[in-house]
Amino acid sequence: MTDRSRSPYRSGRRGPGAGGSGGKGKGQGTPQKAAPSASPGTTVRRVAYDVLRAVQERDAYANLLLPAKLRDRGLTGRDAALATELTYGTLRRQGTYDAVLDACIDRSLSSVDAEVLPLLRLGAHQLLGTGIPPHAAVSATVNVARRSVGQHRARFANAVLRKVGARDLDAWLEIVAPGADDPVGRLAIVHSHPRWVVEALARALGDDPAGDLAETERLLAAHNERPEVTLLAKPGRASIADLVNAGAREARYSPYAAYLPEGDPAQLTEVRQRRVAVQDEASQLVALALARVQVDGSDTRWLDACAGPGGKAAMLAGLAGQREARLLAAEVQPARAGLVAQAVHRSVRDAGRVVVADSTRPAWKDESFDRVLVDAPCTGLGALRRRPEARWRRTPETAEELRPTQEALLQRALDATRPGGVVAYVTCSPHLPETEGVVEAVLADRSDAEVLRAADYLQEVPDTAAGGDGRYVQFWPHRHGTDAMFLALLRKRA
């Protein structure tokens, strides 16, 4: 049993249905005999289970593993859609389901076998988070259990899931969620986030912990919604008209973005030709803001200091090529550098070049660049809609461990920028120690940089100004429909 499998809530409250045969592995009905071959419903659930178990046991990424599993099992159309919903829905609501399961088992949830717990979560999602009939949800999940973990543990799963299905989600939340005297704890259970994440997001939003945390709740709810696919028309290689003709609709803010309401983006001709990529709208806009800042003198040398996997580098390479500038995209991991090379391939004027390099110990000379992007490694708390498992992997200690690297990257970026040039510091996290905290710590040791008001370069997007004097930009899923990207723009003084 890994720590990631343990419920971070453990209310200690047990409602009706707790204890009893669920903890003893005795079913409340006669299990059906296993079919000689898997039905489509069993195959769909087995794919979801395999991904959930890989996420739990070896830190796999669902967004990378699930498409491969769907191809391997030949699932398409409605079956692929159901497998996707079961996988991502279970990951998003894992904390809620753990609290319910904890009330249905007469021993600690952390004592449940590691290979069984994902099955219980998968079954709970079908029972509490979908319209799947309860008998079908239980029987299909138990069939997967028989094939994957054996008859004895399948009986245990059957007993527990029958208890889960005795109530709907609202009724369970009244039992397992804390009351109004613990608003953070209640939001953590109801909206399935670790408590520390709820607290961190509330601070970033400026919500009063003693208040009703109304905006925090809207944000948490947005994290549990399925986001639309956002496409990037690479500058100089594709247009919004191309995307609209392919079935997408024009985006609200980015002049290079469109939303794909349905379908697999990998099937689009423009994506296969690498003229179009999948990229969140806020990611596009922070790169665009860097390109919009006026710089005096030379504007021919641009740097993406943390370029993998290459989305922002693709956009910057196109913009640079249109201005007869060049982009150097640096990435410390060779495999990710290969992805960057694919992303910038055939950019305008072939403006993008890729190098495997550690930007905290750069190979280039100081004051070599006119524009520098630092898309720093972070906790990823801004992308929980797309990568829901990140909320269960990250801890406050994770953020502290990342802080020295984030500060070193920003320090070296400022060193690499010529006087009069500009640096964009970006994180896909709104967590204050990773955002404002890093910028202010770096600037406290330097007198050669000033913070520009970033919202002035994104005037088409409302309500993004953040920080005490509004000089940073913070995107939010519940306000803008994007990932929660943070942006600081700094000019190197002459």
**Among all residues, which ones are annotated catalytic?**
428
- Specify which residues 41 forms β-bridges with: none
CB of 374 closer than 8 Å to CB of 426: yes
Q: Measured between alpha carbons, how far is 234 from 112 in angstroms, rounded to an integer?
A: 48
Distance CA 315, CA 96 (A): 38
* Tokens representing residue 80 in the block: 């692929």
**Exposure of 493 in the CB half-sphere (CA atoms within 13 A):** 7
**CB contact at 8 A, 271 and 232:** no
Determine contact, residues 128/168, Cβ cutoff 8 Å.
yes
Angle subtended at Cα 139 by Cα 26 and Cα 60, rounded to the nearest 5 degrees: 95
Distance from C-alpha of 129 to C-alpha of 51, rounded to nearest angstrom? 18
> Which of 175, 199, 205, 200 has its CA nearest to residue 185?
199
Amino acid identity at 268: L
**Is residue 13 classed as helix, strand or coil in its secondary structure?**
coil
3-class secondary structure per residue, 300-364: CEEEECCCCCCHHHHHHHHHHHHCCCEEEEEECCHHHHHHHHHHHCCCHHHCEEEEECCCCCCCC
**Amino acid identity for residue 380 in this structure:** G
Distance in angstroms (rounded) separating the CA atoms of residues 221 and 188: 11
CA–CA dist 426, 79 (Å, integer): 38
Cα–Cα distance, 433 to 411 (Å, whole number): 16
Instruction: In whole angstroms, give the CA distance from residue 453 to residue 146.
Output: 59
Determine the residue type at 99: A
CA–CA separation, 228 and 214 (whole Å): 24
Neighbours of 441 (CB within 10 A): 15
328: burial class by Cβ within 10 Å (0-12, 13-18, 19+)? buried
Query: Within a 13 Å sphere around the CA of 11, how many CA atoms are in the beta-carbon half?
Result: 28
